[in-house]
Copies of this chain bind each other. A is one copy, B any other.
Amino acid sequence: MTTIADVAKATGVSKGTVSSVFSKKRPISKEVTERVLEAARALNYKPNYWARSLANKSTRILGLNIPGEKFKFSQFHLSLMNGVLRVCYDHGYRLLVNTLPQTFLDRVENISSDPVDGEIILDPEADDLRIEDRLNREVPIVLVGRPSKAYDNRVSYVDNDNVGMTGQITRYLLELGHRNFLFLNAPKHRTVASDRELGFLTACQEFGMEQTSHQIVHKPDTINSSLDFGYETTLATLRKMPEISAIIADSDTMALGAYKAAQKLGIQIPEQLSVFAFSDDSVFSPEFTPPLTGVRLNAEQLGIEAATILIEQLKKEAKTINRTIVPTEMIIRSSCAHRNIEMGGNHS
């Protein structure tokens, strides 16, 4: 491998001079610059990224940190990443995707600082160890999603208005006449789960005119497949509580599970059962009959905002705390309908 020393020797100048030619941080005469670049080209020399990072204490790499075992990117994550990548592209940053399991990272021989200038942290949890760790090591971070109250004023984050949005869709379902809900929620420790739960419960309470009843089930960490979770839970719950006439699902994958369960039970959507999902456009759409009603989370915008804030934070020394809310829109297709009084809920 060609090093800076080789180029220096070939050109008859010092290492420092070659360095300056490439980094452009110090003026070098036109004549020498030419000769150095010439020699570099001839030797096929390119500065070593890591040596440079070590000396510069900067990598110009952003990290995208996603927790969870055997993780798979969803459509939501894809859009989000597209947003992040666009900002990276504009600002000359590379993106490092880190999905390594904690069991791996905790082994002594793998312990190390992260090779990034800052990190975007996805799906924060109530007691998220990642946050404390980055705060300790003074690694700039931006969360996508709300942190726990303890960190509310210590880290920047980008989020949807989960409480308000869930309230809105709950009212929509209430106005359609639904009173008995199954809420397929995100894993319990995720902050998004409690926000949505809060929005849901508040709307139910405020609506007040009649008693509503509901079953909120959190996806357990032990289950990897949202589809299976949606299917199993819907199946079991509808059998136990046939009065349920509407399902709110955390993701389109879960909703798909609910669809399959309904089919298995011989229940018609939306005539007998309304299904709603927190989701961007679905990957599974060919499988959805009827088309799924849901809410657009604008994942790409979340990614754009997060990356922009992070890069902004890297530029200036002063660490300001930034909170950005990205708006959402309800997308009404045809999986939700008025509760059918006749047969309403009495599937069996």
Contact with B along A50-80 (1 / 0, CB 8 A): 1111100001010000000011110100100
Instruction: Please tell me if A23 contacts chain B, counting CB pairs below 8 Å.
Output: yes
Contact with B along A72-101 (1 / 0, CB 8 A): 110100100110011011001011111111
Partner of A99 from B49, B53, B85, B97 at Cβ < 8 Å: B85
Instruction: Please tell me if A114 contacts chain B, counting CB pairs below 8 Å.
Output: yes
Give the residues in chain B near A24, CB-CB below 8 Å. 108-109
Instruction: Please tell me if A344 contacts chain B, counting CB pairs below 8 Å.
Output: no
Judging by beta carbons under 8 Å apart, are B61 and A96 in contact?
yes
Judging by beta carbons under 8 Å apart, are A291 and B286 in contact?
yes
Judging by beta carbons under 8 Å apart, are A46 and B285 in contact?
no
A98 to B88, CA, bound (A): 9
Judging by beta carbons under 8 Å apart, are B109 and A98 in contact?
no
Give the residues in chain B near A82, CB-CB below 8 Å. 72-73
Partner of A286 from B21, B22, B333 at Cβ < 8 Å: B333
Partner of A49 from B70, B112, B291 at Cβ < 8 Å: B112
Nearest CB in chain B: distance from A251 CB, A:
15
Partner of A113 from B49, B291, B333 at Cβ < 8 Å: B49
Judging by beta carbons under 8 Å apart, are A281 and B281 in contact?
no
A282 to B288, CA, bound (A): 12
A89 to B61, CA, bound (A): 20
Interface centre among A22, A112, A282 (most CB of B within 10 A): A112
Judging by beta carbons under 8 Å apart, are B99 and A96 in contact?
no
Give the residues in chain B near A136, CB-CB below 8 Å. 44
Q: With A54-B54, A94-B100, A97-B85 given, is the CB distance from A111 to B46 under 8 Å?
A: yes
Instruction: Please tell me if A47 contacts chain B, counting CB pairs below 8 Å.
Output: yes
Q: With A99-B85, A282-B286, A283-B283 given, is the CB distance from A112 to B73 under 8 Å?
A: no
Judging by beta carbons under 8 Å apart, are A75 and B73 in contact?
no
Judging by beta carbons under 8 Å apart, are B112 and A46 in contact?
yes
A162 to B109, CA, bound (A): 43
Q: Give residues of chain A (124-167) contacting chain B, Cβ–Cβ below 8 Å.
A: 136-137
A22 to B106, CA, bound (A): 12
Q: With A89-B70, A291-B286 given, is the CB distance from A46 to B137 under 8 Å?
A: yes
Instruction: Please tell me if A48 contacts chain B, counting CB pairs below 8 Å.
Output: yes
Q: Give residues of chain A (249-287) contacting chain B, Cβ–Cβ below 8 Å.
A: 281-286
Judging by beta carbons under 8 Å apart, are A111 and B281 in contact?
no
A109 to B46, CA, bound (A): 11
Instruction: Please tell me if A115 contacts chain B, counting CB pairs below 8 Å.
Output: yes
Name A residues whose Cβ lies closer than 8 Å to a Cβ of B.
Answer: 21-24, 37, 44, 46-54, 59, 61, 70-73, 75, 78, 81-82, 85-86, 88-89, 92, 94-101, 104, 108-115, 136-137, 281-286, 288, 291-292, 333
27 A-B residue pairs with CB within 8 Å: A21-B108, A23-B109, A24-B108, A44-B136, A44-B137, A46-B112, A47-B113, A48-B54, A48-B113, A49-B112, A50-B115, A52-B112, A70-B89, A73-B81, A73-B82, A73-B85, A75-B283, A78-B78, A85-B97, A85-B99, A92-B100, A92-B104, A96-B97, A97-B97, A281-B284, A281-B285, A285-B286
| Leading 3 A-B pairs by shortest Cβ distance | A285-B285, A49-B115, A78-B78
- Further contacts, 20 of them, CB under 8 A, given A22-B108, A70-B89, A95-B96: A22-B109, A49-B112, A49-B113, A50-B50, A61-B96, A71-B89, A72-B82, A72-B85, A73-B82, A75-B75, A88-B100, A94-B100, A94-B115, A95-B99, A96-B97, A281-B284, A281-B286, A282-B283, A285-B285, A285-B288
